[in-house]
């Protein structure tokens, strides 16, 4: 309880929360989603060395802040999942699967091509790895923008969120396979097809198996929990369920946010009615302040880790620009995957664009890969990937706001006086 | 996002939250406050090695869990502070000060005496240190029990919480002075009275200075914040304010929970009315689910760190029993400090009894002290202190429940069918 590191942590939290809201305010005044302001606040805090101040450099590597920001991503996805139901997801299921698959193939091919074209001297493994890095989708930003726009209940939102889950699984499988090929090449060993099959299998089993199990187990678990005589049981068991599924996803090598979203998805109002019927607040209501505390930490920390110095390296800007174009163009293939009529295909393609933290993690993994003593991803490529991640992430909120606004001129968001995000608007039916 | 340590952390959180509520349920069924069940759940999880299972041993040293449990204590004290106002505190101010001072003198003298009597071979520094260890009060347990009993608004609660703040400051001053004396003795140097004065001064300046500053700054800060166009501003600034004061307390060597309580205390409904008047939820309402998520982690982790093996060491149980009696008896002197009539003096003395995490921290510091190559606190004394901390902490909830119940036979808590903690009862006026 007493001690400097903890005092430093909570002072950092105070700074992060206050600047997040000030940044959100500034961007809201400019008609942009507040989340972009939270990212911007983070970029500012993380690059004060440009102004000669290095007192906040320790934020970048603070383990406790990293943990809290990861919990923020988990709770954000849990919250988004809570707002959807399995039935709604199955309705858009085929579209989500097609969207995700095209959104993986498109960027993979384009990324490989850009690598082969602009980095002819690099090995084929570097080109393949660049393709793999472009496949990721970070749904955190999109989910938040959809919330800010009051569109998280729309069919397009469900397609995007469903596709992001499938995409995350597919992207991780590709990453596992590509890193496997590179590791094997480094040892001069042919890659085992069995190992690839195991990765693919466990991802599939987790996604469908855990969903099926959860649908069966959830109602019984929460019916039992509602009989416990203690305060805060609904919140504790709701969070425990979310953390358990997210943790299991992490243990088998998937992204924990996939599990958190799945947990929110299978938790229906029906399961928790025992609590709500006796006058307690609903789980969505209870999770909201917790996500509202932790999610801004996630967005600010993403900004803090964004090193603007990368932009100053020679040749990086050109390569990064081409990589970004490939990343954006590749994901627009997603629009073709939407099955049925009356959907806003452009918004789906745009919604799938941000790479966010998933792309950064891919790039980080790339830094550790070596074939025959040569690094697969050097500092120049890494910087370009970081810039691509930032650009795709920064482009998405305004683009999504524009594309949704384009189709709904009667929406409340178009009313000239109203600023989005000030108060969360009710979803349009 | 991807990786084992984080997956392990969230699986641990799932386990902690679920067992906390099950433990709370079991104790509620036995008519005990649920918080004791959360502690008990932790003791169980932390001592599974007795049953031959060592898979949870890593919980004890997990840095992320430690951070989250400390945040839980911070938010718990912030929440308790929010429920009180400065005016209410000043009303009981003289009592709180007297109660705290007597509650420091009593245990200090008794602890020194017990040490001199039962450990005649140990140095006088050991005896003095034992006295210092007994002075601490951990208000976390008492605050939670008062909440569970619906008594956190009572005059006795305000005296106890106010006294705990003063006591924490006084206890830390004593600790600083005693460790200073011991360090000087080890170097053969006379203790500087200037250093003692600095410790005393900064504690006083923080407590009164920051309260005065906060009373002046708070209304302006929140009035400005209410003009920001972003969602979740009230919660973000409320938490930022709490973390800032807690962090400042920590930086100058006080317990951060003192700052968190002070932050809650000076934040009045009046300051946040701009938010509430436009239909947002109140700060108390928003903080409640966050405290409800993090506080059980604090209580479970306190239990987890309780090593029952200490009980099996020879001679420890007898010495620990005497130390516990001294700790309990010493704090009953607090009852004499209550100024005015009609107060439940016994409840005040009992409420001041638990040492909790503060006592453990004192004991930990003792382990590091050495005079002329000899340790001031050996493993045997440490074990006895740990047992004293557990015993005073475990005794308090049922004793407090009994003493409050004794004076209020018409309270809802006495209704035979109703279990405390199932639903938080409204405070009796």
pLDDT digits (tens, 9 = 90+) for A150-200: 887 788 888 887 787 777 667 766 776 776 677 667 766 555 666 667 666
Q: What is the pLDDT of residues A232-246, one digit of tens each?
A: 888 999 999 999 988
Burial level of B117, CB count in 10 A (0-12/13-18/19+)? exposed
Mean pLDDT of the B27-52 span: 80
Mean pLDDT of the A284-300 span: 91
**B408 within 8 A of B324, measured Cβ to Cβ:** no
Q: What is the pLDDT of residues B243-300, one digit of tens each?
A: 998 898 777 766 677 788 788 878 877 677 777 777 778 888 899 999 999 989 988 8
* Structure-token pair, residue B340: 């005015």
Give the pLDDT band of residue B240 (cuts 50, 70, 90).
Answer: very high
Mean pLDDT of the A5-18 span: 92
Q: Which helix (H) or strand (E) segment is B371 a member of?
A: strand B370-371
Burial level of A364, CB count in 10 A (0-12/13-18/19+)? middle
CA–CA gap between residue A80 and residue A147 (Å, rounded): 8
Which residue, B345, B334, B302, is CA-closest to B167? B334
Q: What is the pLDDT of residues B367-424, one digit of tens each?
A: 767 777 777 777 778 778 877 887 887 788 888 888 887 765 444 333 333 333 333 3
Q: How far is A387 from chain B (nearest CA, A)?
A: 19
Instruction: Output the pLDDT for position B154.
Output: 80
Give the pLDDT band of residue B361 (cuts 50, 70, 90).
Answer: low
> Taking the mean position of all CA atoms in its chain, how far away is CA A426?
24
A229 vs B contacts (CB less than 8 Å) = 24-25, 28-29, 419, 421-422
Contact A255 B1 (CB under 8 A): yes
Contact B292 A248 (CB under 8 A): no
Mean pLDDT of the B106-134 span: 87
Which one of A3, A24, A250 has the shortest CB-CB distance to B7? A250
Mean pLDDT of the B141-162 span: 79
Q: How far is A27 from chain B (nearest CA, A)?
A: 9
Give the pLDDT band of residue B10 (cuts 50, 70, 90).
Answer: very high
Mean pLDDT of the B86-91 span: 68
Give the pLDDT band of residue B14 (cuts 50, 70, 90).
Answer: very high
Instruction: Output the pLDDT for position A164.
Output: 76
Instruction: Output the pLDDT for position A1.
Output: 37
A22 vs B contacts (CB less than 8 Å) = 228
Give the pLDDT band of residue B242 (cuts 50, 70, 90).
Answer: very high
Burial level of B313, CB count in 10 A (0-12/13-18/19+)? middle
Which is more confidently placed, B240 or A94?
Answer: B240
Q: How far is A7 from chain B (nearest CA, A)?
A: 4
Model confidence pTM above 0.90:
no
């Amino acid at each position: 309880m007493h001690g400097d590191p903890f005092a430093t942590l909570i002072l950092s939290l105070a700074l992060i929360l206050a600047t997040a809201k000030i940044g959100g305010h500034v961007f809201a005044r400019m008609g942009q989603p507040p989340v972009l302001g939270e990212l911007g606040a983070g970029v500012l805090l993380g690059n004060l060395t440009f102004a000669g101040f290095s007192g906040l450099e320790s934020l970048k590597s603070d383990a406790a802040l990293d943990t809290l920001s990861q919990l923020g991503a988990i709770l954000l996805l849990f919250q988004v999942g809570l707002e959807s139901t399995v039935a709604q997801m199955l309705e858009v299921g085929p579209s989500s699967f097609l969207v995700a698959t095209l959104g993986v193939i498109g960027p993979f091919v384009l990324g490989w091509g850009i690598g082969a074209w602009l980095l002819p001297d690099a090995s084929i493994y570097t080109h393949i790895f660049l393709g793999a890095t472009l496949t990721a989708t970070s749904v955190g930003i999109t989910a938040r923008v959809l919330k800010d726009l009051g569109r998280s209940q729309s069919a397009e939102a469900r397609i995007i969120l469903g596709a992001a889950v499938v995409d995350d699984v597919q992207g991780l499988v590709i990453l596992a396979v590509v890193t496997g090929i590179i590791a094997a090449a480094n040892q001069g060993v042919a890659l085992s097809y069995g190992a690839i099959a195991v990765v693919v299998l466990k991802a599939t089993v987790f996604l469908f198996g855990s969903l099926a199990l959860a649908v069966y187990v959830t109602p019984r678990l929460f019916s039992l929990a509602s009989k416990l005589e203690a305060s805060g049981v609904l919140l504790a068991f709701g969070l425990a369920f979310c953390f358990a599924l997210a943790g299991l996803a992490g243990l088998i090598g998937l992204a924990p946010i996939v599990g958190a979203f799945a947990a929110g998805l299978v938790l229906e109002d029906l399961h928790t009615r025992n609590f709500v019927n006796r006058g307690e607040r609903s789980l969505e209501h209870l999770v909201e302040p917790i996500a509202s505390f932790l999610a801004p930490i996630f967005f600010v920390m993403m900004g803090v880790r964004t090193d603007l110095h990368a932009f100053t390296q020679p040749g990086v800007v050109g390569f990064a620009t081409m990589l970004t174009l490939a990343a954006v163009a590749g994901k627009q293939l997603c629009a073709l995957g939407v099955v049925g009529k009356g959907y806003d295909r452009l918004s789906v393609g745009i919604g799938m664009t941000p790479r966010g933290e998933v792309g950064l993690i891919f790039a980080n993994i790339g830094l550790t890969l070596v074939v025959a003593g040569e690094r697969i991803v050097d500092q120049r490529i890494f910087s370009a990937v970081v810039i691509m991640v930032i650009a795709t992430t920064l482009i998405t909120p305004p683009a999504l706001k524009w594309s949704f606004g384009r189709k709904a001129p009667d929406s409340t968001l178009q009313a000239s006086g109203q600023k989005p995000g000030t108060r969360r608007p009710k979803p349009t039916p």
